A and B are shown apart, each in its own frame.
Chain A
Amino acid sequence: MELPLTALREGESGVITSIRAGFGWGKGGGYGLQKRLMDMGLTPGTKITVVKSAPFHGPVEINVRGYRLAIGRGMAEKIFVEVQK
């Protein structure tokens, strides 16, 4: 089942299917952010695990490629994953 990253509970894992931030050939911030996420290792097919979800609609901390990354909630909502049991 494909869900936004924010739907995962702490300790749950998923494989990235898509990042739905505005994409274009270098137009505006959407592309830049998506590129940034990919540079940090969040490419489609990558397995990620939610380590922690900050309260008050705060950022999500994930484990990706052997390190920890914090992603703002708004951005995390645009990252879609296939949940792994």
Chain B
Amino acid sequence: MTMRKLKFALAGNANVGKSVIFNQLTGLHQHIGNWPGKTVERAEGTLHFKGYTIDVIDLPGIYSLSTFSLEEIISREYIVNEKPDLVINVVDASALERNLFFTLQLMELEVPLIIALNQIDMAEKKGIKIDLKGLEEKLGVKVVPTIAIKGKGIYELLERAVEAAEKGSAKPAIVRYGEEIEERIRRLTETLEKIRLKYPARWTAIKLLEGDEQVRREIYDLNPEILQLAENLAKEIEEIHGHPCPTVIVSERYEAAGKIARETQRILPRIKPSLSERLHEVTTHRILGYPIMILIVLGIFNVIFMFGGYMSETLSNLLYGYEKIFEYFFGSNPLKEIIWGGIMEGIIANITIALPYIIPFYLILYILEDSGYLARAAFLTDTLMHKMGLHGKAFIPLMLGYGCNVPACLGCRIMETERERFIAGFIVTLIPCAARAVVILGLVGSFLGLHWALALYAINLIIVFLLGRLAFKVLPGEPTALIMEMPDYRLPHLKTIIKQTWFRLEEFLKISFPLIIISGLIIKLAEISNLLEPISNFLSPITVNWLGLPEITGVTLIFGILRKELTLVILATLLGTTNFQETLTPLQMFIFTLVVMLYVPCIATIAACIREFGWKKAAAISLLEITLAISVGGLAYRVLAALNLLGY
């Protein structure tokens, strides 16, 4: 039997259930990575259906095929260059007009198309009924109704998709602009047909009139005269309409989408607001919204740290129990020290941080995101984030940072511009992650009391805010405004959430695992060759004279670059006790923790920063934070000593 190969691309707006459809289609046969050279996620999968092997790619969720964001450029480049056999356009039935605006653009790009009309149950709850036959006729494209989270319509979608792909031909674009525009599109198209283009000529003509930067650049390189012609034609349209040409074209395209939507949907006015609407009302309430948000955030931390703390301890006791068995086989010699201390302890650390803290953190975060709550939190925190030159969406990586800085750094991708990604990346590395929480709670929390631990968190928030504000003032560029869809609240799809969590975990392990093991080995070797004392001596002007700490803390701070929670473990080993009261004064405990909290992102976070922002920026972040920690630590030491708040 010969297997036929097909290539499908899923495209559509954000929040339409696209990734759920992707999961339903491809199940476990998925590969998640990045687009080459880009920090945008690329999800691919394979499925077998009626003798076909079908590769499915899930394009990023976007609202238009212009060049506003990297995601938009990637999507359209993929469609143009890779020429999938079929594009499955996932359309949210409850926001038909906006979704069709995107559909019409896909049609202008002249791709073979089928529509998955998703979330029809949610649309019905909003009183929206859609005439499927009517929609099919108006668009000239097959429309399959689906409820992806329940798996409804997926099989039929696949059957129709294969049929459509076999027919192959793209339907002609159905948008007809006003005659004065059409005439100019025709003139431009005729000129464009004479040169070799990777895009369809009519689409290129429209994009030129829309002022699309990328297309303009490409055409300029091929033939500057065509660009000149396009600019002249655009000016003529502007004169006729009194609005800039891009505005006119987008307006008319939206008008076409609106017309189809009006003719094919019936909206019954609702008497009683739905649960989703009432939830929305409460969670964005001008007074109630804030305490609810604080309660949710605190609740999450509570659950994660209680569960994580318990799990982490249990796992670590269990895994360290193997040291005896290990010793039995290898004996007690330097080789054992290197293998166990360098490698095994690295593995244990990865397991005891990753499993108990990162997994639940991601699970909860994805539940919040998929249900729609994060959009509300972004709405409420927008003003605060603006003070740091960011907007509400930055709340999401910031929250992530409390779990682990590595995913938080990667999470900064949701910001639109390079500048905002960097500011967000800079401040998330200052957020005390779960590992730092271990030190804060384990040292200051247990020996000085919870209020001192909370004071550290408060100091941290103030520093984050001030530095964010500073970065915003210093870095050139304008802040981007928040423009964010507020999706309806909905039940999250558990399987999709588990999968997303799994891929995040994989990504985390890929970055952190090798680094932790290699650096663990290096430090173990340094220890064996008696390099630790000279290092401590070397650092003593800072640690002893400036920060007022015992000399051995120098070594722990070096170890801390590997993993922040190690500072506490090493400190206990070097001091020979876990009862820190015997060896450290309260003030020393506080200053030590303050420095650990701020001084440098751990090595895995530095790696994530390098990946996202490049070497230079990662180095800048690291150096800046070391300077910050030393300055703040020394100042705090003097201020607290002068006030005699924690003794001398």
Query: Which residues of B come within 8 Å of A, CB atoms?
Result: 63-64, 66, 68, 94-98, 101, 211-213, 216, 231, 243-244, 246-247, 250-251, 254, 258, 261, 267, 284, 286-287, 375, 378-380, 382-384, 386, 391-392, 417, 478, 480-486
B481 lies within 8 A of A74 (CB): yes
Q: In whole angstroms, what is the CA distance A68 to B372 when docked?
A: 12
B483 lies within 8 A of A66 (CB): no
Query: Which residues of A come within 8 Å of B, CB atoms?
Result: 23, 25-26, 28-29, 31-33, 35-41, 43-46, 52, 54-59, 61, 65-75
A residues near B64, Cβ cutoff 8 Å: 39
B380 lies within 8 A of A58 (CB): yes
A70 lies within 8 A of B95 (CB): no
Residue of A nearest to B253 (CB): A43
Closest 10 CB pairs of A and B: A75-B481, A72-B481, A39-B64, A72-B482, A43-B251, A68-B486, A67-B95, A26-B213, A38-B250, A65-B97
B68 lies within 8 A of A59 (CB): no
A40 lies within 8 A of B251 (CB): no
Contact of A66 among B96, B392, B482 (CB under 8 A): B96
Known: A61-B284, A72-B391. A40 touches B211 (CB 8 A): no
Contact of A59 among B95, B96, B482, B485 (CB under 8 A): B482
15 contacts between A and B (CB under 8 A): A32-B68, A38-B251, A39-B68, A41-B254, A52-B284, A54-B380, A55-B287, A56-B383, A58-B383, A61-B486, A66-B261, A67-B94, A67-B485, A68-B485, A71-B483
Q: For the A-B complex with A35-B250, A39-B64, A43-B251 known, give 18 more contacts whose Cβ atoms are closer than 8 Å.
A: A38-B251, A39-B63, A39-B66, A41-B97, A41-B98, A43-B247, A43-B250, A44-B247, A45-B251, A54-B284, A58-B380, A59-B382, A61-B486, A66-B98, A70-B382, A70-B484, A71-B482, A72-B386
Q: In whole angstroms, what is the CA distance A36 to B67 when docked?
A: 9
Closest Cβ–Cβ distance, residue A24 to chain B (whole Å): 9
Closest Cβ–Cβ distance, residue B488 to chain A (whole Å): 8
Contact of B481 among A23, A58, A71 (CB under 8 A): A71
Q: Of B243, B267, B480, which is in contact with the most chain A CB atoms at under 10 Å from its CB?
A: B480
Contact of B286 among A35, A44, A55, A74 (CB under 8 A): A55
Q: In whole angstroms, what is the CA distance A39 to B97 when docked?
A: 12
Q: In whole angstroms, what is the CA distance A69 to B244 when docked?
A: 24
Closest Cβ–Cβ distance, residue B227 to chain A (whole Å): 10
Closest Cβ–Cβ distance, residue B298 to chain A (whole Å): 21
Q: Of B284, B287, B483, which is in contact with the most chain A CB atoms at under 10 Å from its CB?
A: B483
Contact of A65 among B66, B98, B378, B379 (CB under 8 A): B98
Q: In whole angstroms, what is the CA distance A29 to B213 when docked?
A: 12
Q: In whole angstroms, what is the CA distance A61 to B380 when docked?
A: 11
B485 lies within 8 A of A69 (CB): yes
B101 lies within 8 A of A41 (CB): yes
Residue of B nearest to A18 (CB): B243
B98 lies within 8 A of A67 (CB): yes
B97 lies within 8 A of A61 (CB): no
B residues near A35, Cβ cutoff 8 Å: 66, 68, 211, 246, 250
Contact of B478 among A29, A45, A52, A57 (CB under 8 A): A29
A66 lies within 8 A of B97 (CB): yes
Known: A32-B68, A35-B66, A35-B68. A54 touches B247 (CB 8 A): no
B residues near A57, Cβ cutoff 8 Å: 383
Closest Cβ–Cβ distance, residue B207 to chain A (whole Å): 11
A44 lies within 8 A of B98 (CB): no
B residues near A67, Cβ cutoff 8 Å: 94-95, 98, 485-486
Closest Cβ–Cβ distance, residue B390 to chain A (whole Å): 11
A25 lies within 8 A of B211 (CB): yes
Q: Of B247, B378, B485, which is in contact with the most chain A CB atoms at under 10 Å from its CB?
A: B247
B residues near A61, Cβ cutoff 8 Å: 284, 379, 486
B residues near A52, Cβ cutoff 8 Å: 284, 286
A54 lies within 8 A of B286 (CB): yes
Q: In whole angstroms, what is the CA distance A21 to B484 when docked?
A: 18
